[in-house]
Chains A and B, each alone.
Chain A
Amino acid sequence: MADVKHTLSLGFGASIVKKKVSLPATEARPWDATSELKVVGTEVPRIDGHLKVSGQAKYTFDVAVPDMLWAAVLRSPHPAARLDSIDTSEAAKQPGVRAVIEVAKRGERLLFAGQDVAAVAAKRPEQARDALAKIRVKYETQPYVVETMEATGERAPVVHQAPVKERRTEGDEPGAGGGGSLRGNVRPLPESARGNVTQGLAQSDVVHEGVYTTPVQTHSALETHGLLVRWDSRKSMTVWCSTQSIFSVRDEMAEVFGLEPRNVHVITEYLGGGFGAKFGASAPGSRLGFIAGQLAREAKAPVKLMCDRHEEHVCTGNRPDSHQTVTLGGRRGRLHAIEVKSYGTAGIGTGAGVGRNAIGIYTRCPNVRVRAHDVFTNGGPGTAMRAPGHPQGAFALELAIDELAAKMKADPLALRLAHDEHPVRRYQMQEGAKAFGWEEARERSAQGRERQARIRRGVGMAASIWGDFGRAKAARATASVMRDGTIEIKNGVQDIGGGIPTVLAQIGAEVFRRPLSTVVVRYGDSEYGSSVGSGGSQTTSSVTPAVRNACEQARGELTEVAAAQLKVAVKDVRWDDEGTAHGGGKSLTFAQVCKKIDGEAIVATATRPATYGHEPMAFPGGPMVQIAGVQMAEVEVDTWTGVVRVPRVLAVHDCGRVMNPLTLRSQVNGGVILGTSYALMEQRVLDNDLGRMLNPNLESYKILGARDTPKIEVLLTEVYAGNNNTGAVGIGEPSTIPTAAAIACALFDALGVPVRSLPLTPDRVLTALGKVPAPGSNKATLARRRIR
């Protein structure tokens, strides 16, 4: 079929332009700035809300099938050890135990405390855990290293003795990754640069350099990783899995057990959070899929394996830490050079890169160089976590820019505006500053510093960059019009909590002009057609255009049915807003037309083509929309106790065409709250003397609670990007990128001195104010000796 030409009205705010696109005939005419939509873009409460508030929603953790056994995994207590021997015979005799397997092999090197050793399946979860105590294992402990910068040293124990295979998931940013050869524990990542940074710094009249550190953060989804495996025959299985990617679970189980993917049925009806760690049947640091499947095979019964909270912290992934040296050069009042050199550890895994913001946001800075390195340590592997690499990078660069601005006596907002070319982000900075009361607030904080007030306030801002990674042909959607007038939409996507089923129902209601209550969405099941993982903020932009195409095609067929009944040509049928068909002076209600459908239903299946537009600006390195975001935060700090509070955050974001402002605000709130938590309290603590995590729980691994939550105001700058037929782009990740950075900048504004390490804990604030000695300093060492 020949392509069809469309002229679209694209852009944002007052800057709408006309663009011509040529699209396949199967692609619905894209919604643009002129489209008047009735259901899409309105506040629709989520369609499964009543099930979640009444306890009826069944998550993987809740699913039970007849004769189901419970599994538990024995994990290595040592950060580095060789497995000498293992004896599971006693465990096999314990009450309720039906199968025991060895997961690690004799002679294998175990690389972190928490690595799989053996596993048990028993009738009750308590019995399975009891039986683990009866497994006898002999380990030969080996030297280990858990501290990032220590691991870069020449004498540090080497974690990986062979080149490391990258583990990439749909949660990783497209284009990221790759790396040079391993030296000791250090693996350089691909360098990105423009101009000449060495020369740029030499030409600068003001140079600022600082070292910025961020901690390892764990995903801490409330539902732990886990799955239930039931073998349905020797060649087929059903898997209920707490996953954010049903199809990567299917493929992994098929590969591990030598099955055809079509014979692996995966179900994730409800999912208790993921945040990037739940791709695949296994966790990044534990072969959960293999363990559950193998135990089920040996026990000849379905097996459920759910991690406990300790396991969730140590072996299911984390956000790598970072140690970033940022050097900025200012020349004649302008930002002239940015250099970022970073080291970060993803434990035994890869992916500690940062710096996309440095190269991608302040594009009017002529000289930039980013050199990042993965550092291997004996810790559980990191993995993608909500905007991998970005919150770390934003924290270091944005705080450094504020420090440079202070040295240059420039306003940090003005300095950013002068170097950012993205029209939407510039608009967001300007509008945000007005809404937030930026100038007045900066004035107030200056007065607080002047007065040396005990309680001080400060404000800061930071920017985010993300891309529209919506994928072509990844999601295949089916739309059916039933004879009873019901519209059914099917796709195997899972709902991570963003509310995608509700948005799909809105698309159906919009296309057919029917009440939402007549649209049924079937999802969360591999039998419902291929789909994408909930990663890269790509779900809505990958799935909604496919659903719309399927709906439009089904509607086309329904129009033919109506035309035949009305005895007019198809082009002469007109549907009104009640879903009634008119033609030839006659009318048929939607129900009357549907009754005339041959067979049970009209069924149409469709996908979406590659992204075809990126108005007003592309993401660096690809012809896709660059998503803009700016956040401004206010902090209140007690300079006597060092306690930092965040009373308010303004989040200004672009996410293309807004599908549902209600669920969208939820997602943005979530991004800001996660970022505030990262800024103020979260940190994985690995004990140097034991090589184990000291806080693998939720009472000493702190996450933000209701009392700590800022007042969040969300401003949406709707953009008609012309990227796909619904105009959706993602928001899950962008909304958490700038928060911690903005808070750190606000703290700098309040104190006049920077705190360059996250989390911004009282001890660090007091150290920055010179009220207590810095850890590791001579004074601190002396003080510690006295205590001992």
Chain B
Amino acid sequence: MSEHSKLTRRGLFRGVGTAALVSGCVKRTGTDEPGAAAVVSDTTAPAQIGPDPVPLRLTLNGQSQEVSVEPRTTLLQALRIDLDTTGPKVVCDRGSCSACLVLVDGLPRNSCMMLAHDVAGREVTTVEGLSQGEELSALQAAFVRHDALQCGFCTSGMLVSCAALLRRHPRGQALTAEAVQDAISGNLCRCGTYPHVVAAVLDAADQTARQAAGNAIDGKAGA
């Protein structure tokens, strides 16, 4: 039997896929970023890595982490199985529900649609990274206050979408319910938390704006 007739996903990676995949992700890391000393350092040669686990380094919720995973392992699996970070959930495993959403270099990404090696040298923030130790962020606290969760399985992804929205939303501009609905339009929830999520995000945005205004006044008074 020829090698091709029993081609498997692993075989495909071994033969042609890995080099392209890995060179792709290494190129993007750059060399001057912290934690970017990628273990796969040869960015020009078609590196033959895998199919066995290969080490990679990333910054996860502010901590530098090294982990060894197969090239085919998704970021979601690596986070959950190898890095014991189970906030991101497995729901559809193909990018249609956003329960696995994480921030990669500050942008929301479905971690089920990325390979772990794609984030070598990059910064990943999961729902666990949204709070400061035991202290919840204003957004998380608003979720609890407004009961923006029921079973809680979509909540991690909802929070990541909403945190990204609050970060990109221009300061001083009022947030609308429609903007929040847009931001979470990819987050599926089966319990029906959408109305309370919208209320929570508007409340958190309002609170942050009022705090900022308060700080500005304090600042003036102090100056």
Contact = CB atoms under 8 A, between A and B. Distances in A.
B60 interface: no
Interface in A205-237: 219-224
B63 interface: no
B188 A705 contact: yes
Interface stretch (A4-12, A442-450, A461-469, A670-678): A670-678
Nearest to A675: B192
A275 interface: yes
B220 interface: no
Contacts of B87: 54-56
Contact of B10 (A58, A130, A220, A498): A130
Interface string B132-172: 00001000100111010111111110010000000000000
A53 B144 contact: yes
A263 to B, nearest CB: 29
B149 A49 contact: yes
A619 interface: no
Interface string A698-723: 11000101110101100000000000
A644 to B, nearest CB: 18
A663 interface: yes
A105 to B, nearest CB: 29
A308 B94 CA distance: 11
Contacts of A665: 147, 196
Given A50-B144, A126-B70, A222-B154, A666 B96 contact: no
A706 B192 contact: no
Interface stretch (A31-39, A265-273, A510-518, A743-751): A265-273
A672 B191 CA distance: 10
Per DSSP, chain A at the interface is loop
A712 B91 CA distance: 27
Contact of A125 (B77, B128, B136): B77
Contact of A662 (B72, B86, B147, B190): B147
B185 A54 contact: no
B56 interface: no
A133 interface: yes
A59 interface: yes
**Size range of the chain A interface in the assembly:** 35 or more
A728 B195 CA distance: 25
B156 A46 contact: no
B14 interface: no
A673 B128 contact: no
Per DSSP, chain B at the interface is loop
Contacts of B84: 64
B59 interface: no
Contacts of B151: 221-223, 270-273, 496-497
A697 B94 contact: yes
Interface in B105-134: 126-128, 130-131
Nearest to A47: B144
Contact of B96 (A125, A126, A699): A699
A574 interface: no
Contact of B155 (A52, A64, A125, A674): A52
B38 interface: no
Nearest to A668: B192
A692 B88 CA distance: 31
A222 B136 contact: no
A130 B12 CA distance: 14
Nearest to A662: B147
Given A272-B89, A272-B152, A672-B192, A706 B187 contact: yes
Interface in A326-365: none
Contacts of B155: 52-53
Given A125-B77, A497-B150, A499-B150, A46 B144 contact: yes
A706 B153 contact: no
B147 A222 contact: no
B73 interface: yes
A56 B9 CA distance: 34
Nearest to A221: B190
Interface in A59-94: 59, 61-62, 64
A499 B147 CA distance: 10
A50 B195 CA distance: 19
A124 B154 CA distance: 24
Nearest to B144: A49
A663 B192 contact: no
B190 A498 contact: no
Contacts of B126: 55
Contacts of A400: none
B75 interface: no
A367 interface: no
B136 to A, nearest CB: 6
A56 B99 CA distance: 15
B26 interface: no
Choose among A52, A272, A273, A697 the residue with the greatest number of B CB atoms under 10 Å from its CB.
Answer: A52
Contact of A666 (B9, B190, B196): B196
Given A126-B72, A222-B91, A272-B89, A669 B196 contact: yes
A544 interface: no
A300 interface: no
Nearest to B80: A62
Interface string A271-289: 1110100000000000000
Given A272-B152, A673-B192, A674-B192, A54 B94 contact: no
Interface string B167-211: 000000000000011101111111111111110000000000000
Contacts of B140: 50, 53-54
Contacts of A272: 89, 151-153
Contacts of A50: 136, 140, 144
Choose among B81, B149, B156 the residue with the greatest number of A CB atoms under 10 Å from its CB.
Answer: B149
Contact of B150 (A54, A308, A498): A498
Nearest to A44: B147
Contacts of B145: 45
Given A54-B130, A54-B136, A59-B153, A712 B195 contact: yes
A219 B130 CA distance: 31
Contact of B191 (A45, A130, A273, A711): A273
A706 B73 contact: no
Contacts of B128: 54-56
Nearest to A49: B144
B193 A222 contact: no
A582 interface: no
Contacts of B48: none
Interface string B74-86: 0001001100111
A49 B143 contact: yes
Contact of A270 (B93, B152, B187): B152
Contact of A53 (B86, B88, B127): B127
A62 B127 CA distance: 14
Interface string A417-460: 00000000000000000000000000000000000000000000
A672 B127 CA distance: 28
B212 interface: no
Given A46-B144, A62-B80, A697 B92 contact: yes
A160 interface: no
A667 interface: yes
Given A222-B97, A670-B193, 4 more contacts: A221-B151, A221-B190, A662-B147, A706-B181
13 contacts: A52-B149, A52-B152, A125-B77, A126-B73, A222-B91, A222-B151, A223-B89, A223-B153, A273-B151, A275-B190, A499-B147, A672-B192, A703-B190
Interface of B: 8-10, 70, 72-73, 77, 80-81, 84-94, 96-97, 99, 126-128, 130-131, 136, 140, 143-145, 147, 149-156, 159, 180-182, 184-198
Closest CB pairs A-B (n = 7)? A55-B87, A670-B192, A272-B153, A497-B151, A673-B192, A52-B152, A49-B144
